Structure 1
Amino acid sequence: MSDKRKWNFYLIISCIMVVFLLLIAIFGPALAPHRLTDSITIYQYGKKEMAFPPLRPFTYKEFPLGTDKWGYDILTLLLYGAKYTVFTAMGIAILRLLLGLCIGLWTGISKKKINTWQAVENSLSYVPSFLIIFFILWPISFYYNIKPILLILIFVIIASLIGFPTVAGTIREKTRQVYQASFVESAITTGSSKWKIIKNHIIPHIKEDIVILFVLEIVTAITIMGQLALFNVFIGGTQVEFDPVLYHSITKEWAGLVGQARDFIWRDQFVLFIPLLFLLYATISFQLLAFGLKKFFDKQYKRSRWI
């Protein structure tokens, strides 16, 4: 009885964190205290006061998280960029999972040899996916005539096509384990089609793994966005200034805000670390959710296996 009363704090906390993250992504621009084009304007006792960026956090109530080097409110940048960070990562995870499910289920129940497909999986596993994505996106990330939404769509498609073979391999192994079970063999002998076997037997037995895999793919997508940002490839496009050379994220997605502020590691570190904390928050939220879901599903399995 005591086991049933145990709370899954990982799942509870992560669900709260993820819901909060989704709310920020949906309502961020409406909650932002300033517009993206607004820069420093400080009033003290009804009079305008001179202030020089970057402003430190909690110094002025108008800029609770401070400003960047150019006087733009960091909180506003984060709230505007949240949707691009969260929904881009989720879009990649969804597309990877759909493609991985189709290929993984098909190869998992196929009796034919799939050496060619496994060779594709193995070859992609030896090369970091972000390197391939980087060399594809680098030539087009700095073209101002390409709309940010189109650049995001290109990134989602490329990241999904490069990453889904790994998902397909995981799904294939799970499918093979279920396909070799006695109840599936019984269904085959009674004349059930492959589609019915997949729908009625395989998917119900691997649905928990699919959910966890989806959450982990979100983490992977955010990680790739962070890696690309270190090389000035920002999701949605990179704006370049010369003399001196500076890189700016057009969409203000969180990885881009970290990448464009990495020069502040030696001075005014808050310009770098505040976006970095938000990016880590997003990563940890989904990582904890995956861990909490695994504990929840394991507990459900332990309860139901005696029925």
Structure 2
Amino acid sequence: MNKLNKTLILGMTTLIFLILAAIAGPSIAPYPDDWDDKIHTSEQETSASPFPPSEGHLMGTDFYGYDMFSMILRGARYTLFFCLAVSLVRVVLGTVAALFLGWRSREIKSSPVLGGLAAVPIVIFLYLLFAGVSYNSPVPPWILAIFQGIVIMLFGLPGVIGVLEEKVADQREKSYVEAAVSSGAGPVRILFKHILPFLIEPILIIFSHETISVLTIIGQLGILNMFIGGARIQFDPVIFLSMSHEWAGLIGNYKGYISSTSNWLILFPLGAYFLVLVALYLFSRGLEKYFHRKYGNAPHV
């Protein structure tokens, strides 16, 4: 009897929970998006936001009086679905391109351009590309997020193609492919009916790795005050406010509060971000363990 894959189960369970929370987030948020709680007045004193976690605000409020828990719930869909969608499109396009490039590997032995693009320091280029459109943009956050997602997807595409191209080229030399060629099967049929099924396992693992990579990239951009969905800049003092409330953006908003008495502003979005990161890591490691047990040799990607 196979041992229970606790790593995969824990990763999948956590991801499913987070996805359900992201879907329901706007509906179950305790406060409307434009609701604020800036001033508390009592007989003894008057106090202003930010307010610490309490029964009325489970994760406290920010310096504008907005409920942190509500913002985290609303931002979950941008954080999770953005990473999953970018990774999915990247892997699908990369698989199709790798199938045809790998099939021609006898004529094209290497792809130096793809290898060079895969080594590009992506965050620097993304920051420069997004700087002109991400601040105080009149474009709705979801449209801006689509544009940012397409750009991030394209920058990571060469790496996916490079990995899968080698695997397709390896399968191209197998005897079952040569037999299919001898029987008169065309390249498209061989690629999608014969070779593609052998790539399912590495494709799934690559997808999990790419999702982690995209999450890491938006985290790095968030630290640089470049948020998915755009940012609104306020002056005196200069503050970058995430328009979508995605979690990397909230971390960027409140990173200056890590050592202050209002450190809940950074700790809660940081905790949510790391929860997704850990869930994706567990899911990825669980997949590798599953395929290793199934085939006796894990596909290294």
TM over 0.5: yes
Q: Could you report, residue by residue, the CA deviation over 1:157-203 in whole angstroms, capped at 9, with x for unpaired residues?
A: 11111110100011111112222212112212222111121122211
Decide whether the 8 Å contact of 1:55 with 1:71 is kept in 2. yes
User: 1:247 corresponds to which letter in structure 2?
Assistant: F
| Alignment partner of 2:52 out of 42, 49, 56 | 56
Residue matched to 1:179: 172
Which amino acid is the alignment partner of residue 176 of structure 2?
Answer: F
**Matched residue of 1:261: which SS?**
helix
Matched, 1:221 2:221: no
Identity of aligned residues (%): 32
In 2: Cα distance, 1:200 partner to 1:302 partner: 24
Shift of 1:44: 11
The one-character-per-residue Cα deviations of 1:76-100 (angstroms, maximum 9, x if unpaired) are 0000000011111111111111221
Return the offset for 1:119. Answer: 2.4
Q: Which residue is 1:85 aligned to?
A: 79
2:258 is the counterpart of 1:265: yes
User: How many pairs align?
Assistant: 294
Measured at CA, do residues 225 and 148 of structure 1 come closer, stay the same or move farther in structure 2, by a change above 3 Å? same
Which sections of structure 2, spanning at least 5 residues, go unmatched?
none
The residue number in structure 2 matching 1:150 is 143
Q: Does 1:246 align with 2:246?
A: no
**Paired residue type of 2:267:** F
Most deviating of 89-98 and 250-259: 89-98
The equivalent residue for 2:107 is: 112
CA distance in 2, matches of 1:50, 1:104: 64
Gap runs ≥5 in structure 1: none
* 2:280 alignment partner in structure 1: 286
Which 10-residue stretch deviates more, 200-209 or 140-149? 140-149
Corresponding residue for residue 35 of structure 1: 32
**Correspondence list, 1:62-73, <5 A:** 62-73=56-67
Q: What is the TM-score with the length of structure 1 in the denominator?
A: 0.90
Question: Could you tell me which residue of structure 2 aligns to residue 168 of structure 1?
Answer: 161
| Structure 2: distance between partners of 1:86 and 1:214 | 14
Alpha carbons 1:42, 1:62 under 8 Å: kept: no
* TM-score relative to the length of structure 2: 0.92
Matches within 5 A, 1:1-20: 4-20=1-17
